[in-house]
Amino acid sequence: MATSMPVPIEFRLPEGWQAAKPDEVGAPGAAFVALHPTSQVPGFTTNITIDGEVRSDEISLVEVAEESVTNLAEASRGVAVSDRREIGSADAPGLTQLLTVSAVIGETTRELVQCQVYLAMPDERDPGVRAVVRLAMTAPSEQFDSVRADFQEFVSTVRAGSSGDSGTPGDSSSPSG
């Protein structure tokens, strides 16, 4: 079952991406999924997913990112961290990591690249709690460079929203919790 976001966010999908229902595309843990139909290969479509959870301030974004690597490793043949960088500021910290993933899709082993961006958003009502939002794009390794700029464009549009925000996928969207 698709999850909800711990905080409302707004974003704009780049041209050529289409919103999809997480449960219908095999991403039940995601709050939002977008597919890039023109980059479809047998058994896999390049995708962007959004999820998030409430975390204690005591857990670093590096630890949260490591948890993602561990979870992905359990569901695939292998995962390697190619790059990891802290981004943002003390008031709005973030982290990016680039992963190479060897996954079995159907009966074929496929090499994928996943770019993850973690954004920490403090809870205004409880300063010891924060939401961590994860934005991820997964693409076959041979197609990653052709969709990387789309993901960067998408990430640049992500903003905190208000609980009353609404939008339409492909224009302005706001999964909220």
pLDDT digits over 16-52, tens only?
999 999 999 989 889 999 999 998 888 899 999 999 9
CATH number of 34-146: 3.40.1000.10
The answer, yes or no, to whether residue 169 has pLDDT greater than 70, is: no
Predicted TM-score (pTM) of this structure: 0.88
Break the chain into its structural domains and give their ranges: 34-146
As given in the structure block, the two tokens for residue 1 are: 């079952």
Q: What is the 3-state secondary structure (H, E, C) of 50-74?
A: EEEEEEECCCCHHHHHHHHHHHHHH
Sign of CA dihedral 162, 163, 165, 171: positive
The contacts of residue 150 (CB under 8 Å, 6+ apart) are 14, 16, 17, 36, 137
* Angstrom distance (rounded) from CA 43 to CA 65: 27
More confident residue, 118 or 41: 118
| Mean of pLDDT values over 120-143 | 87
